[in-house]
Structure 1
């Protein structure tokens, strides 16, 4: 009997050991599976949606957006792969502009790219939580987008389209190279803070030059041609700043300038390429690219908008359109070869 109980006890102990080993193996397998699942999740790349608010379509703003996308792609954020753009254009309508901002926020995008001052103001009114990167903004502080250029604060930062030397250099070029110009005509949308700030900069730069400004205000692009015609006989030259409403209808001003032989200065290089005579400016593609690099840092979790200073354009140059000079009755001076680059269509 004792022998039989001994055998049974041994069998029970062996069964317990086998069961324990089985449980231990099962636990180890579960742990391994958990680790594999965790690694898989970590390796699966997150997909982002970028909301894009743009006040109107014209080459400068479009180039800024192209630069923005290029910078993100260079940082590993590829459209159609791990990033999607929800692009909405307000067509110059301020009501549409705010509706677009509200729509982007309600859709839960990961970041908003605001391409113009009204676009940035609209999205900032709509959210204080979603990161906002702007470009094509003339006066970020005056537009109440940031607390300061060095320390933006809040959820917004970006790049400005005003180089401190651009407008003073344009005015200096007019003063020194066009002695017959005593009145400069300017067309702008008085409803755009961006444009009002630039007009004030031009008028400040004109102080002491003996040149007066003659202003014509518009509210829509359909009014631009009539405003341009109104400058004939009142101005000796035309200076079109970076006003989104006017630049979207730039060809109508160019035609007036050519018809009446009025030198037409512009606020950025894309407008020179479209037919303006000359500008000290920069490429909007560049400021868009710089904004895209900021966005990449935020998406990677390396920075917050509040910690990224607003950036000025880096490259400023004088560009002259030779064909437009001929059409506007302007003789190209040999000394300009030393200070300018030339565009020929």
Structure 2
């Protein structure tokens, strides 16, 4: 037992936070970072891929990944204790259903997203989280010297990882939104900041009479050609590089902002909204669709409340309650057009406010 372990805790209680005294549960939460980084290491080293043919020992794996066998064993043992991999009686390790998510090149994998969560660009700024709390500014900028999107633009390898991670989470998120809302009402759709185009491509798959435009950074636009071709919508989808703080093309029935506005503080988010408002002009039938999390009220558990801290520390953005969303949207030149689709996949449908012409 170390000096930091409570001497009077019941044997085994530390493995079950519900059985701990309430005052100890925050400490249990803090210690989960050890498991998180162990899983990151194993994802980064592609250990799940090496175990796909069958169980192996840490010694056997260490030779292939360039690791110290004893250290790798300890990392594997930690991950196995939370269900990611399993240790067999002969000290070999095997895959579990949870570990399947760390495999490469498979449908449903989250390997790149897990690696991203353990990399410096996601982790190191938390060592200076107090800067964000005291100033309201992202600690990322203090630690890395520039905003995250500028940093990614200057580091293509990290930007590629960021884009791959976004693609891996795009599948279930896209399926959720396409089931929650009828996008087929709109024949011409513009996806503003839509990454490499997966969401737009899947939307067009579901709506064969529609066409779409993707607007994003040049690197994302370049990759969208393959995405649209793979999804079979290349003849109905096109992509152009653009800056949603400056201008977006006019003439579309619906403009989608999916997981965009939460990246930015209110003043920058308002500027994005006003850019779209200018593109719509006096077309009162056009719609803005905001696809972003809506925070639950009170003390209700909500993953968005965890993500909101990451927005503060890394991006400088924020998650918002429904009241905060409507206030921001009205300031951006729009007003509610329908009762919002809430739940896991919120869609806020907005119409241009004719009194807020740009």
Larger fraction in helix:
2
The structure whose Rg is larger is 1
What range describes the TM-score normalised by the shorter chain of this pair?
0.3 to 0.5
* Structure with the larger RCO, 1 or 2 (CA within 8 Å, 6+ apart): 1
TM-score normalised by L of structure 1: 0.34
